Amino acid sequence: MNHTTLGDPSERTVRLADALDTDHIAVNRYRIPPGDSLPGGLHAHPNQEEVFVVVAGVARFETLGGEVRVAAGEAVRFAPGEYQSGANDGDEPLVAIALGAPRDSDDVRVPATCPACGTEGLRLGAGGSTATFACPECDAEHEPSPCPACGGTDLGFTTDAESRPVVECGDCGARFADAPIRE
């Protein structure tokens, strides 16, 4: 049996899987201040299911099927390939435990379309200094372009009022149906 503490209570993300020496499940503790979001924006893991257990506060998750609110003492499951993002719209800190299986899932997809072949759901790569997109179908690699409205680079995926995926600029608030991608 392995035992660990949940880390510094003020720390935003605490990765617990290594400390617990888990083989098959990722375990993270999140503490998200009011008005902030869980890391990652709208994304999916095609080969990993995730369960979020809310310990304190209320989490708001955006999905392509609509919005889900999860209060303290409740949990939500996202199936492999299901797009989701989470945020804290409340007045108190959100504390949640995230469980993901299998543990070592680094395939993260974003709801963008490959300009080369039209495949939906590009693989997100963040190994270099900037994010990149790779098509799982044709292997084409793409770089995001700056915001067409302001030139900013703080772009992220979210959903619109009809729960459709859109790209939103964190610098100016502009929204786009398609991800700006360099040709």
CATH code, domain carrying 54: 2.60.120.10
Side chain identity at 34, as an amino acid letter?
Answer: P
Residue 6 banded pLDDT, cuts 50, 70, 90: confident
Check residue 44 and give its pLDDT.
97
132 DSSP β-pair partners: 125
Statement to judge: residues 88 and 113 lie in one domain: no
pLDDT at 126 over 70: no
Check residue 128 and give its pLDDT.
62
Tens digits of residue pLDDT in 158-169: 999 999 999 999
Q: DSSP code of 115?
A: T
Under a CB-based contact definition with an 8 Å cutoff, are residues 95 and 29 in contact? yes
Residues with Cβ within 8 Å of residue 121, at least 6 apart in sequence: 44, 46, 109, 110, 111, 112, 136
CA distances in angstroms from 177 to 163, 166, 180, listed in the order given: 12, 5, 9
Statement to judge: residues 116 and 140 lie in one domain: yes
Tens digits of residue pLDDT in 75-84: 999 999 999 9
Q: Say if residue 102 is preceded by a cis peptide, omega within 30 of 0.
A: yes
Number of structural domains the chain divides into = 2
pLDDT at 10 over 90: no
Statement to judge: residues 19 and 80 lie in one domain: yes
pTM listed for this prediction = 0.90
Evaluate whether residue 3 is within a structural domain: no
- Chain-centre distance for alpha carbon 127: 16
Domain span at 168: 109-176
Tens digits of residue pLDDT in 72-121: 999 999 999 999 999 999 999 999 999 999 998 889 999 999 999 999 99
Domain boundary at 53, 84, 101, which?
101
Side chain identity at 183, as an amino acid letter?
Answer: E
pLDDT-above-90 percentage for the chain: 84
Statement to judge: residues 85 and 140 lie in one domain: no
Statement to judge: residues 73 and 30 lie in one domain: yes
Assigned token pair, 142: 């793409």
Statement to judge: residues 19 and 96 lie in one domain: yes
Which helix (DSSP H) or strand (DSSP E) does residue 19 occupy? Answer: helix 17-20
Statement to judge: residues 91 and 128 lie in one domain: no
Assigned token pair, 56: 């304190």
Residues with Cβ within 8 Å of residue 125, at least 6 apart in sequence: 131, 132, 133, 134, 141
Domain boundary at 59, 76, 101, which?
101
Statement to judge: residues 114 and 94 lie in one domain: no
> What is the helix, strand, coil percentage profile of the chain, to 5?
0, 45, 55
Evaluate whether residue 5 is within a structural domain: no
